[in-house]
Structure 1
Amino acid sequence: MQATQQPTETILVETSTVGCDGGGGALGHPLVYLTLDREGQVECPYCSRLYKLKEGAKLSHCH
């Protein structure tokens, strides 16, 4: 029997840092803050949601 993997939810964002709690409630996970990489995306290590920079938004990393 072959396991079927659920497609990852993709969320478009306009900031380089996002907070993910897995949707909150009893089915969520602890709140984590994630920073988009140079390609403009990051995957949550808890729930595998994929956050992508919205088309036209600028990704700026401040040092």
Structure 2
Amino acid sequence: MTAMQPTETITVETATVGCDGGGGALGHPLVYLTLDQNGRVECPYCSRTYVLKEGAKLGHGH
């Protein structure tokens, strides 16, 4: 049994991020994800986790 690779965590400064898996042809379809109220979102395709940069504000306009 092989060990699972740890998922990649990417720090962002915006409430919406685009993820395509990164691997060019080996990636996945481009999806746009919105950070939750805790400033995090996980891509349903590749499990990359996007985290809001410390000090950045979520600007949902509400």
Whether these two folds match at TM > 0.5 is: yes
Secondary structure of the 1:38 match is coil
CA RMSD of the aligned region, Å? 1.3
Using the alignment, how far apart are the partners of 1:56 and 1:8 within structure 2? Answer: 23
Calculate the TM-score normalised by the size of structure 1. Answer: 0.89
Calculate the TM-score normalised by the size of structure 2. Answer: 0.91
Written as runs of structure 1 = structure 2, the 5 A alignment for 1:1-63 is 1=1, 3-63=2-62
Using the alignment, how far apart are the partners of 2:32 and 2:23 within structure 1? Answer: 14
Deviation at 1:59, TM superposition (A): 1.0
* Runs of 4+ displaced beyond 3 Å: none
Structure 2's unaligned 5+ residue stretches are none
Give the share of equivalent positions with the same residue, in percent. 81
Secondary structure of the 1:26 match is helix
Aligned residues: 62
Structure 1's unaligned 5+ residue stretches are none
Using the alignment, how far apart are the partners of 2:60 and 2:24 within structure 1? Answer: 32
